[in-house]
Structure 1
Amino acid sequence: MKIPNLVHKLGGLTTSAIVCAGFGLAAFSSPASAALLARNTFNDAALSIDAFGSTSNSGTISTNVSVGATVLKAYLYTSSVWDFSPVNDVKLNGNLLKVSDATVLTPDANPTTTVLWDVTSILGSLSGLQNHTIEELGDNDGSTLVVAYKDASTTGFTSFIFDGELATTGDTTTFNFAQPYTGGDFLVSIADSFSFQTSGQFTTIDVTTDSTPSRRLTSSAGGQDDGSGANGALITAGGIGDSPTNPDPFASDAGGFRTDDEYYNLALGNSADPNPFIKPGDTFVTLNTRNPSNDDNVYGLFVTSTFRTSTTVPESNSILGVLALGAVGVSGLIKRNRHKVAVKA
């Protein structure tokens, strides 16, 4: 299956809005251990996210943007195949994207290199669900397309794009709220390359809040959901068609199937515990991640919340932004990208 973009169709496709009291998301904390930096914050905006991977090096990648919406920014991420080959140039809708013109995500410490192109000029006008041609001019491990857009249906939402490289041995990312949480969706998706399931390659995510000492969100993030089981197509990103219903937190990648679509809503519970991960009165959320196989490349974290950002002070490292926010709750609808498969060496 192909996961088109992780389109946080908050308020766009099927949206249920719940008006909540205002509160603040104050410093987005990415402590020294965390290697994700804030790329952008968008007020009154939602995200469309899709991933592509293919051993044939060509195919389509999708966007799902409301008709008439304004495209604020579009990014294309592309990763190398671990340390087997460098990142290669890409064509998007026939437009050549040279690696020499791309931004290399830092710290670039693991054997995978991920680069980023700003493709807003290529995708500045979008309407509904669309497929875009993509061609890798050499062996890459896939790409993720993230589009931020706004229209009347996204009023009240705030979207955040974080990217970099989470440490496989364990990493921590914390969101501190300026005022206690009172309600509303907290949608999280990740982008991950060089992860093959079912083979014991996965990332675990544990959530800690004021009300939750430590709780497992997933034991099986990763895999080739948007590609296939072979090098050159090992990629996944929570996206269009994926469900905000959280996965079984203790399911493994064994048994020939995958249960985690890399898209989560911390305002919900899961099959092990129906209570939400984040509760009214909480002042922070911490995500603890770990990749036991030590070879998955988690390079993107995308959040769409019902927090409205009125002030943002971006920083380059641990304090990523000072945010004052209001709240409106929604349910996101996301579709999944097609998988292709090849086996890791």
Structure 2
Amino acid sequence: MKKTIGVIFGGKSPEHEVSIESAKTVCDRFEAAGFRAVPVYVPRAGAWRLPALKDLLAGRPLKGPEIEPALGRGCFVKKGGGTFRPDALFPIIHGSTGEDGVLQGLLELVGIPYTGCGVTASAVGMDKVISKELAALDGAPVLPHVVIRAHQKKDLGPLLKKAARLGFPLFVKPVAQGSSVGITKVKRAGDLRAAVLNAFRFDTAVIVEKGIDRAREIVCGVLGSHEGARASVCGEVVPKGAHEFYDYEAKYLDDNGMELRLPAPLAPATAARLRELAVRIFLALGGSGLARVDFLVDPKDERRVFFCEINTLPGFTSHSLYPRLWARTGLKPEAVLKRLVVIAERSMAARRRLTTARK
């Protein structure tokens, strides 16, 4: 009998539309891999729904019965009667509430195996500051940066001066957002304040990070768990046209916004080092299932590599980086999805075996 996989998508983040596109690809690939894919739509407001797969794939309005998660019962309750009890769940909600541990915590309480990182790793991975600090503790090189919290907005002057002393260019980012939302490249001090205030539109904390002039953006996929993880080949993201870096527009709105070089044209020793770092960072943050780890490489000296960020719920559209990295490594999307379901089931079983007794 086919296993039923609920694909949770949508959400309340700025990446809502990206999530819908990822869900289309994931559902299609799960069906091709021999599973029964059931879309679970989370609108920006209102109740969750079970739209028809054919409507999702055809781009029609996402309707269907309303559902609510049944805590501790391993299922969802349908409005009007009945339940939806999948064998596993595949969350593909990008950004806030989807890959920051919020959704993962809910799924833990429901009690259904789900793919990807757990609560802690998702929360840590979403936070660009904490993830850098943990990666650095494990020996990964990171770039100098300044963090500005919401309570410091009233007196930005000293912090802006501190950030400017890092040297330009600087990259100003919301601490907990994905898909390059709210990121600005700043080339001079006069533009720094506006960039910080713009980033505060998306989060309550901002990181100002030292940039590398003409830095090479290298990405690497990781698949596995604490029982064993492996890295894909490295890819190099080359922004095209007016894009100075791999921003939201280059990712999703401009079909010619970037070129992905597979494998990345790196010295063998550099590629091996980055793959080893990707797995080490993934495990140091408690990763499980999948992640994409991004690095910056100095174009003048390949030995100068820096951990940029980890994406614990990378996109899964037909042109997304993660599935393309694994395809070039020799693993088709269907094989990746099958492996993720196995890891999800093993991880949930392991957590259930943990004792809840005091002694």
User: TM-score, normalization: structure 1?
Assistant: 0.29
More strand by share: 1
RCO comparison, higher one (Cα < 8 Å, 6+): 1
In terms of Rg, which structure is larger?
2
More helix by share: 2
